[in-house]
Structure 1
Amino acid sequence: MPIFAIQLMHSVESCPLYNADNKKKLKQLSSKKEELKVKYQINILTEVVNKLEHLITIVLEAPGYNAVESYLNDVGYAFYNKIEVREVEFVDKVIKTL
């Protein structure tokens, strides 16, 4: 399955740590994460956050870009983040082709 690297960035004002409305909405939507991963055939390899920069990085496997986009919308990340999605490969895999 293709691998995608996703960066999500938001303002301090929209951050769920400080914005009560976004915190409530994100908690509601995020409670469906496991169900949505199955629905869209998503396998999250890692998901990390830099709280000071309001930056979330996710690396996941998915059948395609549409599945990634639908997952990010349904899980609640899209409503408060600027999102960049890139299809990537593991470096070890690329090195083996040299």
Structure 2
Amino acid sequence: MIKIVQVVSSTCPPCQAIQKKIQKWLETHPDVEYESISIEEKREQVAQMGILSVPAVLVYRKDREIIRKIGYFSLDELLSSLDALIG
């Protein structure tokens, strides 16, 4: 099982853009779970995850983190990597 966890901020335009693109991708990948965590609302949880800034996307496989992208990164490359993992 693959799970995408995105850490977002309400004041982060890239976060919203990434979220929309991930949601679109999820439409063709119904077996992938998705969770969005607000850095403002869950500051302690996010800090325990080692995330101090957004945008941040983490990917888990069988409850083990396999991908961590924070700050500037190519979402297209990330989604391509996920397609290869699933495929």
Q: TM-score, normalised by structure 2?
A: 0.34
* Greater relative contact order, per chain length (Cα 8 Å cut-off, separation 6+): 1
Larger Rg: 1
Q: TM-score, normalised by structure 1?
A: 0.32
